[in-house]
Amino acid sequence: MKKRILVTGGGGFLGSHLCETLLEQGHEVLCVDNFYTGCKKNISHLLCNNEFEFMRHDVTFPLYVEVDEIYNLACPASPIHYQTDPVQTTKTSVHGAINMLGLAKRVKARILQASTSEVYGSPTEHPQTEAYWGNVNPIGPRACYDEGKRCAETLFFDYHRQHRLRIKVARIFNTYGPRMALNDGRVVSNFIIQALKNEPITVYGNGKQTRSFCFVDDLVRGLIRLMDTKDDFTGPVNLGNPGEFTVLELAERIIALTGSSSRIEHLPLPENDPTQRKPDIRLAREVMGWEPTVNLEQGLAVTIEYFRRMLGAM
């Protein structure tokens, strides 16, 4: 059935891929973004589609539209971006959630919150299950994002309990792929750009901290599958690739795939940087029949080619 779907943060890395996939499925898409971290170039190829509409808007202000579903993705997601204006980051998560929940309540729409693995903080449980409450520093430099997302989850579940709102909450683990911003400071894009330029690859700490990397196509498929689950399934549900790699392993793979002459350079570990991150995705498998299908080498090859083209065009 054709639906009118709102995607906040639709001009961003994840949002633009989600808009694209929803259009391919035959839906009408309203993309909302203020381009704080998103980019018009990410959605320029969609503007000629009659089923696609773009609105420049900041979700910290109310929005009055008629839609059937809402994907709330609006929020800077990389440390460089969310720490630049931490007060606005918190407002985007909290006020944005209130405004989108209010809209969903008014139009009786189903609504999905793009939460994050950062709600687990620096985990003392490994791998992380949805039942784990997390280990978060509420006053550290990452708290604007971590606690903002945690508060958004609280609001979603309170609206569900108090107003019977049809909610879905996805806890997204590290995701990568084409359309990542060149300057977003995340480990995959950082390493690829440094390798393509044959510059030193900067590894924070000893590089033994672990991460799990999910290709964007797998993640988008998971978000849509979560939205389409029955109303009695709210989540939260982990969406990520359970393959676990050290940061050093990632650097070495990228050097090999790019044929780079880069060497590895170690820098001090940032404050509150998690040492382990790996999703337990048993719930997504059992309820949604979802799991990633793109392995790290396949996803990195596509992403490297994207950045190679971007750097060549500069």
**Could you report the per-residue pLDDT of 99-116, keeping only the tens digit for each?**
999 999 999 999 999 999
Judge whether residue 175 has pLDDT over 90.
yes
273, pLDDT greater than 70: no
Q: What is the predicted pLDDT for the residue at 182?
A: 84
Which of 36, 145, 159, 176 is an active site residue? 145
CA distances 281 to 89, 211, 228, Å, are 28, 15, 18
Task: Answer yes or no: are the C-beta atoms of 251 and 191 closer than 8 Å.
Answer: yes
pLDDT for 314 = 58
> What residues does 239 pair with on adjacent strands?
172
pLDDT band of 271, cuts 50, 70, 90: low
- Is the preceding omega at residue 62 within 30 degrees of 0, hence cis? no
pLDDT at 272: 61
User: What is the CATH number assigned to the segment(s) 4-175+215-240+278-293?
Assistant: 3.40.50.720
Q: Does 145 qualify as catalytic in the annotation?
A: yes
Q: How do residues 26-82 score in pLDDT, each as one tens digit?
A: 999 999 999 988 899 999 999 999 999 999 999 999 999 999 999 999 998 777 777
Q: State residue 247's pLDDT score.
A: 92
* φ and ψ of 287, to 5 deg: -85, -40
Residue 287 CB neighbours (<10 A)? 15
Q: What is the pLDDT of residue 72?
A: 98
Q: In which band, very low, low, confident or very high, does the pLDDT at 313 lie, cut at 50, 70 and 90?
A: low
**pLDDT of 25:** 98
Q: Could you tell me which of 52, 50, 56 has the C-alpha nearest to residue 8?
A: 56
Query: 5: exposed, middle or buried (C-beta count within 10 Å: 0-12, 13-18, 19+)?
Result: buried
- With cut-offs at 50, 70 and 90, classify the pLDDT of residue 285: very high
pLDDT at site 276? 79
Phi-psi region of 33 (alpha: psi -120 to 50; beta: other; left: phi over 0): beta
User: Does residue 309 carry a pLDDT above 70?
Assistant: yes
What are the pLDDT digits (tens) for 182-232? 888 889 999 999 999 999 999 988 888 888 999 999 999 999 999 999 999
- Percent of the chain at pLDDT > 70 equals 98
pLDDT given for residue 184 in this prediction: 82
pLDDT at 57: 97
CA distance 242 to 213: 8
Q: Per-residue pLDDT averaged across 273-291, rounded? A: 90
